[in-house]
Amino acid sequence: MTASTPADDATTGRPVVPAIEAILGREYPVLDHGFIRVVDYMGDDAAVVQAARVSYGARTRRVREDRGLIRYLMRHRHTTPFEMCSIKFHVKLPIFVARQWIRHRTASVNEYSARYSVLDREFYVPAPEDLAEQSRSNAQGRDEHVPAGVAGEVRRLLEEDARHAYDRYEWLLNEKPDGTPVDPARPGLAREIARINLPLSTYTQWYWKVNLHNLLHFLQLRADPHAQTEIRVYAEAMLGIVQRWVPQVAEAFEDYRLGAAELSGPMLKVVRAWLAGEPVDREASGLGLREWRELHALLGRELPPA
């Protein structure tokens, strides 16, 4: 393994990854005010291999190289060895992105609390190219981009509403950024109440610690082209960090997860029939119309006439 080496100054006995050490604490900008940075990590490619060989036995090393073993584990979904590595991120993100993100319940999270602290006057406003119409075929997706004039008006309304909400928030708190009251003659409202009218575009922050297996599951879903743009850009930034941290795992992940597709049993039967040169009727295949279309799109085949 060449991805990591023991620390030269002997201040630690654990493996370190120079490519990650070089970016610890560095902020990677995401969206208009967000960021992601690595706070700490544990393990490397070799840690995955080491964990696998505990169960595979000492002879494994003689018949498989480390890269080959990692690819075998990824290909056959032997996930436990990947749980031996973990990483902790500091993330700044809009609240509506955080609400999507928190659906991944396999990490340790500690979020900035607006009950104890005052939130910054920062809001996410989509770039014009990210504003699109509601998809007509996907209830949770986007369709064509809106015209430039409409995009400008949408951005103006979003910014105006966010500023107005924050002005009210500040008035309710009766607190300036430096902590002094706006009006010494009146009391400020409790922070846990004053926050309730802030929009979902308001930025929050958290520490997010996760093992490598669950991080890869997150990336498989959120780095996918069909994921919402605003969470996908965070996932893409994290994928770049994973490539620095565990390059052999990242390579296998991209080959067997991100760049791969899963076929159902009926789908596989259809593919085998096609390879044998046999005609296949959708009704007889057992596939629903959507799955039938997905299979053709996946393989780049034209749909037969209806």
State the Rg of the chain over Cα: 25
Catalytic member of 222, 232, 282, 290? 222
Query: What's the rounded Cα separation, in Å, for the pair 107 and 102?
Result: 9
Query: What's the rounded Cα separation, in Å, for the pair 35 and 174?
Result: 29
The partner residues of 90 in beta bridges, in order of sequence, read: 37, 207
> Which residues neighbour 134 within 8 Å (Cβ) at sequence distance 6 or greater?
142, 143
- HEC string for 194-263: HHHHCCCCEEEEEEEEEEHHHHHHHHHHHCCCCCCHHHHHHHHHHHHHHHHHCHHHHHHHHHHHHCCCCC
Is 142 annotated in the active site?
Answer: no
Query: How many other C-beta atoms lie within 10 A of the C-beta of residue 281?
Result: 8
Query: How many other C-beta atoms lie within 10 A of the C-beta of residue 75?
Result: 13
> Which residues neighbour 242 within 8 Å (Cβ) at sequence distance 6 or greater?
212, 215, 216, 219, 249, 250, 253
Contact 36, 238 (CB under 8 A): yes
Between the CA atoms of 132, 135, 136 and 137, what dihedral angle is there, to the nearest 10 degrees? Answer: 160
The residue among 207, 300, 223 whose CA lies nearest residue 259 is: 223
The partner residues of 5 in beta bridges, in order of sequence, read: 16
Residues annotated as part of the active site: 222
